[in-house]
Amino acid sequence: MAAGEIRVAINSDQDIVSARQKGRLMASEIGFSSGDATLIATAISELARNIVSYARTGQITIKAVNGLNRQGIAVIATDDGPGSLTFGRRARRLFHFWKSGTWLTRSASLDGRI
């Protein structure tokens, strides 16, 4: 595992809680406000819930990232659920959350490309 990166295997409701807590902690450590850290944790929780509900197993990866004059978090959700096999590859969803002045900005991609 790379520095500034957390991986959580998602197989049960307990794993959802763990991923959410780890995401909130990383967001706080990077300097996101308490409210923004909660929004990030909620997004992680929703992604992990979808893994448990529809794919049964998967992984959430949370990374500290640096962009042009800004810091952020990338949240990557992957699974091998039946829906992803339709496309012949693992389902991968990538979200970036950036600290941008007083705003939390987000970008997303369903196939992992931004």
Q: Residue-wise pLDDT tens for the chain (114 aa)?
A: 456 899 999 999 999 999 999 999 999 999 898 998 999 999 999 999 999 998 889 999 999 988 777 788 989 888 877 665 444 445 567 777 776 554 455 554 444 433
Residue 113's pLDDT is 39
CA quadruple 83, 85, 86, 92: dihedral, nearest 10: 70
Residues forming beta bridges with residue 93, ordered by sequence position: 77
Task: In whole angstroms, give the CA distance from residue 6 to residue 37.
Answer: 16
Task: In whole angstroms, give the CA distance from residue 45 to residue 55.
Answer: 15
The answer to whether the CB of 65 falls within 8 A of the CB of 74 is yes
Q: How many of the other CB atoms lie within 10 Å of CB of 2?
A: 9
Residue 52's pLDDT is 93
Residue 96's pLDDT is 74
The answer to whether the CB of 74 falls within 8 A of the CB of 96 is yes
E strands, 15-90, are 58-67, 70-79
- Give me 94's structure tokens: 């990538």
